[in-house]
Structure formats: C-alpha cells, structure tokens
Structure 1
C-alpha cells in the first residue's frame, strides 16, 4: 500500500488533466489532428478497397430508363417484347417460378392471347380418379414452366453453374436494370494478363469477371412480332423492362397513388395551415379567468 501511495505521488499533475481543462489552442490542435488522422485513415482504406484485385468489376452506368422518373410509367409495349425475349431466349435456362400466366393479362397481352400462350405448355397434373398423374394444356392460373426439374439437373446442364430465377432478379441485384443491361451487353475479350478458365466467359460487370453464362443475345437473335429491329441494345432494354415489371408489378399503381397523395396534400396542407394560423391560434392564446364564488 505504501508503494502504491508513493507511485501516485510521483505522477505529475498534468497527467490527470482532462480535455476540457486544456487551453483553447491545444484543444483546436488536438481536434484538428484527430480529424486529419481519421480522414487520412478513411482515404487510405477507400484507396485500398478501390485497387483490390477482387474488386476489378465495373460499376454499371446509369441509363435513362423511360420509367425512372417519379411520375413515369413502364413501357408496356417494351414489356410485351421483353416477354418474347424471355420466352425465346432466357427460358431455356432461367425460371420465373413466381410469375403466372394470368399476370400478363391487361399488362402486355389480352386474355385471349395469354390463354393461347398457356395452352402451348404441357402441365403435369393429378392424380386422377385412378391415382395416376396426367398432362394437360396450361391454364391462366398456371405458373411459368421451369426449364429444369430441380437445381441439381440445372447444375449438370450448365457445367456446375446454377442459373438464377429471374422473378425478382432486378431487385435482387445491386444496380437493378442498369446492372442486368450492362451484364447482357458487356461481354468482351479479357484484357492482357487476365486468363479465364475454359467454359467461362469474361464480363467486367460480373463479380469476379468470369461468368458461366455464354453471351445470350446478339443482333437479330429473334424477330419481334411488332416489327421492331432486334438490335442487341433493344433486346437487352426490352428484357430489362420486362424483368423490372416482374420484380415490381405494382410499379405503375404505386406512382399513381403517390400522385394522388401529392394532389390531396396540396389541398389539405393549406387548409391545415389556415386552421392553425387563423382559427386555433385565437383559442390557444385565449385567457380564461375564473371568479371565485361570493
């Protein structure tokens, strides 16, 4: 105990001085030093992250989508063409198990057209009265058919890669339709010094730059029913618009409700201001005095 007392006595009084007790110039100097140190450390970390070999993929640019505005609706003609792209190109490997044929009615196709599309699909149903499964033509209530019966067979058919479901791919990927558009149109030869394993393809927008999906689209890969030229950019734009609608079917309704809310607020807010400023303020500032009983 005596040794402890002697040690405390040897500690200079400046060591116990708090930050608030320091002179003003020292406070400013220490604060500036802390800010510069923290800023330098943050900048060094950002530079380190930006040059890491594992983060060489490009970030997709921001494209001027027609539905990107706060009051802009989806291009339903583009949704129709995008469904045609999915049906003829993407559905060979990718599923959309959360989308039913009935969802297309009134959006991109008429009810008669969707019924004809659904009837082209053979659906396994049952069991029947004898306990056997049977096949029947598709109906509006059926969901889009899957290209593979299970994930294992999908991996076997794609060299170990599992094609993702496209129902919510726009919301599931950072960058949304910008990322998907850049991915579809961004295939190129690897730069000097970069080697890609056999069976993979170089795409700077894909994390890791090596993707198992071969370039899926090119110029004139299909012929649109409405006669639109099927260039690579047009095909990518249409399928991205279709996938945006699939990920967010309430897109147009949400913006319509927002517009109605703004119009209602434009009427309600001035009315509330008038009531508060000219009606309630009089009652709020009124003084009531009670006379004591005699």
Structure 2
C-alpha cells in the first residue's frame, strides 16, 4: 500500500497562465500521510489478515474433528480438463448399485432411459426396466395393477416411505444417492473413502450397538455396515471385483448420476475457449487498427 501511495499518486497538473500552459508535477509520498492515518491503515491491514487467518482455521476445525479424517484426493479418470467419464466403469458401477446398494438406497431422480447411450443400449435398458414390477393405474375398473417397467419409469425405491426406511435401519434414514457426490463435502473422494474406510475403533473410542466405526464419517460412528468386500459380486465383463474396484466403479456411476452433463460441459468449455481466443485476437487487432491514427498524432499546445 505504501508503494502505491508513494509511486501511484503523481498526477501531472496543467495550469493555464497568461503566457501559456505550464506543467507542474505534484509529488506525494507516504511521509505526507498523517501519523494517525498511518496507524489506522496498519490496524486495518492487521485486522483483515487476522480475520482471514481465523476464518481458515475455523473452516478446518469444522470440517474435521480429532476423530475425523479428511479424505485424500484421488486421481479420478474424469477429473482432468480433457478427460471424460469411463463408460465401462459407469456400467460396472450400475451393476454394483443394483446388486448391493439398491437394497437400502434409492435413486428416485434417475430413469432407465438415462442409461441409454451411456452405459447400456436401448434394448439393454428396456430389459433392465422390465425386470421391475411397477404399480400403475387405475384401470377402467378403478383398480391399481402391476406392470413391467418401461424406459420412462424411475429406479424403484427400496422402501415404501421414509418411516419404513427408518424402521428397517435402526432409526437411520439411508440417503438418496442420485446427487450424493454433489451433496457431500469432498465429493467422490469422500464417498470412496467411506466405502473403503471401515476399520476397528481405536482404543478409548466406544461405538454404540448397531453402529460401525469409520474414521472418514463425522463422529466416527456410522449406521451403515460395510457393504463392499472382495469378490462380493461378479462383473459381467470379467473385471476383478476387488473392494477398491467396486468402490471406484460405483462412485463413478454416482458421479455421472449427479452430473450427467459432465462430458458435454467440458466439450462446450473447450469450444468456447477456442472461439473466444480467436475473437480476442481479432478484437485486439481491430483496436490497434482503429486507434493507430490517434496514437500516432502529436498534440502540441501553442502559447498565446
């Protein structure tokens, strides 16, 4: 700030007199500032720095207590600027969700038609939908009936309502997984760490009955039991179903479910960068062309 006050505030003042124009330069320096203002500026800067430091420390303290670990940052295949989703991993992740996670967690905002062109063909998605019986109606007689699912149907819910879900899970409500990677701090890193982070509670930590210890979960005690183990399912494409592979695939699937426009958004961003880069170059050339006449002129003042 002292440098700005000392060097930036040097305007040239033009004063008109009877003999013409005289150029006077007004010199300002930090020494010319009153002492009380110097103290006020210094205190203001210290207060701003202290406030920023306190906010950072408070943010870290809120995000992690002594018994909670920060999830590490993993190198996801879709995290780069020029990288897109691994659609084979999305297909495997759907298989993990269907066979493991769907027993407790819903994805009520996702339809079977959303799978078409992403992880399944239209015929494969239709077969997946027809495996589920959907309550529909009323018919001509006013009765409800069941029918095979269609592409327009949403994924089925494991419980009829939230009260039934709580009753089946010791009072805990399993969250909907459609937007879970966007709803949790840490995103896919947090979900992956939760799925692979189950371990025995350290000495001195007591876990209530019906809960399990996971250092990445706030408080350490989580109501969901460990769901993924090595070879708990068999992939259709023959990929070894290790615990980390299962977790990576289902997290990739959940990331796609939360951001289905992910790949398209990156394509549009790259196109915009190319187009705006060309427009900026043309605008700069046009500006130089238009202002070249004025900038090459010499303006002289003739004394009276």
**What is the aligned partner in structure 1 of residue 290 from structure 2?**
279
Match of 1:73, SS state, is coil
**What is the aligned partner in structure 2 of residue 65 from structure 1?**
76
Contact 1:78 1:242 in 2 (8 A): yes
Select 1:177's aligned residue among 166, 172, 188: 188
Contact 2:108 2:156 in 1 (8 A): yes
Deviation of 1:32 (Å):
7.4
Contact 1:55 1:207 in 2 (8 A): no
Deviation of 1:265 (Å):
1.9
**What is the aligned partner in structure 2 of residue 209 from structure 1?**
220
**TM-score calculated relative to the size of structure 2:** 0.80
C-alpha separation in 1, matches of 2:63 and 2:284: 55
Q: Superposition pairs for residues 87-236 of structure 1, below 5 Å?
A: 87-236=98-247
**What is the aligned partner in structure 2 of residue 247 from structure 1?**
258
Deviation of 1:53 (Å):
9.4
Match of 2:190, SS state, is helix
RMSD over aligned CA atoms reads 3.1
- Which string of whole-angstrom CA distances, capped at 9 and with x for unpartnered residues, describes residues 236-292 of structure 1? 0000000000000000000000111111123211111111111354379889xxxxx
**What is the aligned partner in structure 2 of residue 77 from structure 1?**
88
Check 1:43–1:129 CA distance in 2 against 1; reply closer, same or farther (3 A cut).
closer
C-alpha separation in 2, matches of 1:20 and 1:159: 69
Check 1:52–1:63 CA distance in 2 against 1; reply closer, same or farther (3 A cut).
closer
Select 1:270's aligned residue among 281, 300, 304: 281
Query: How many pairs align?
Result: 266
**What is the aligned partner in structure 1 of residue 67 from structure 2?**
56
Shifted more, 68-77 versus 144-153: the winner is 68-77
C-alpha separation in 2, matches of 1:223 and 1:196: 33
**TM-score calculated relative to the size of structure 1:** 0.82
C-alpha separation in 2, matches of 1:53 and 1:259: 36
Contact 2:64 2:70 in 1 (8 A): no
Check 1:186–1:52 CA distance in 2 against 1; reply closer, same or farther (3 A cut).
closer
Unaligned runs of 5+ in 2: 1-32, 299-304
